[in-house]
Amino acid sequence: MSYQGPEWAIALVQQLAKYRNNSGIMADLRRGRGKEPVDCITMHRWVCRFVPDGQVGTGKEWAVYTVASQFALNPNAKACDRSLGWSLREVARSGRFSEQGLEARLIRLSRSRTSAQLCKQLPGLLSVLASSRAPISWPLLASDINQWDFDSAKVIRRWMRDFYQPPNNKQEQTAPTTQGAI
C-alpha cells in the first residue's frame, strides 16, 4: 500500500529537507533525540510552527519533534511511501540484521500505550534503519505517531502486515518505491 501522509507531515518533512545542509540547524534538531518535546529548547525555533497551540502535549507534538530529531540524524535517507513495517522488512531482507531481532523490536514497539511511549522507543529502531541505509517515509511515520493515541491498532496492523508480507512482484523484490528528495 502506498501513502505519503497528511499535508502537515509532508510540509514538515519538506521544511526539514530545506535545513538538510545547515549543520547548525541539524545539530539543534539532533539535540532533541529521545527527549520530551517540552525539553527540546533548541528545536522549538525550527519546528514549533507545525504544532498549533491546541495540540501541545498531543501525539502531533510528539510526532513533529521525534521525526525532526530523527531526520536530523539521517537527513539523506532514501524516501519511500511505505510504512515502518515495510522499511524493517527491507532491512531484514538485506541480511544486515536478523529478522527475528527486528520482529521482536517491532512487537515491543507495538506495545506502547501512548505516542509518548512510542517516541521514546523509536530512536533505537530508527538507528537500525539509518545504519542499514533503509528507505523511510518520514511523513507517514509522523502521521502514524500522531494517530497512535486514537487508533494505534490500525497503525500496528499496517506495520505488522507490511513486515510479514512477502514481496508480491518483481519490482518490490528489487527496489523500494521512492518519491525523490523528501
Residue 2 is assigned to a structural domain of this protein: no
In angstroms, the Cα distances linking 90 to 1, 97, 172, 174 are: 15, 10, 10, 10
How many structural domains are present in the chain? 1
Residue 172 is assigned to a structural domain of this protein: no
In this predicted model, what pLDDT tens digit does every residue of 46-102 receive, in sequence order? 999 999 888 888 999 999 999 999 999 999 899 999 999 999 999 999 999 999 999
Residue 176 is assigned to a structural domain of this protein: no
C-alpha 121/C-alpha 20 separation (Å) is: 24
Residue 161 is assigned to a structural domain of this protein: yes
How far is it between the farthest Cα atoms of the chain? 46
Residue 43 is assigned to a structural domain of this protein: yes
Please classify residue 159 by burial: count the beta carbons closer than 10 Å to its beta carbon, then call 0-12 exposed, 13-18 middle and 19+ buried: buried
Please classify residue 55 by burial: count the beta carbons closer than 10 Å to its beta carbon, then call 0-12 exposed, 13-18 middle and 19+ buried: middle
pLDDT at 2 exceeding the cut of 80: no
Q: Which domain holds residue 144?
A: 7-167
Residue 21 is assigned to a structural domain of this protein: yes
CATH of the domain at 61: 1.10.520.40
Residue 66 is assigned to a structural domain of this protein: yes
Q: pTM value? A: 0.88
In this predicted model, what pLDDT tens digit does every residue of 94-141 receive, in sequence order? 999 999 999 999 999 999 999 999 999 999 999 999 999 999 999 999
In this predicted model, what pLDDT tens digit does every residue of 12-30 receive, in sequence order? 999 999 999 999 999 999 9
Residue 175 is assigned to a structural domain of this protein: no
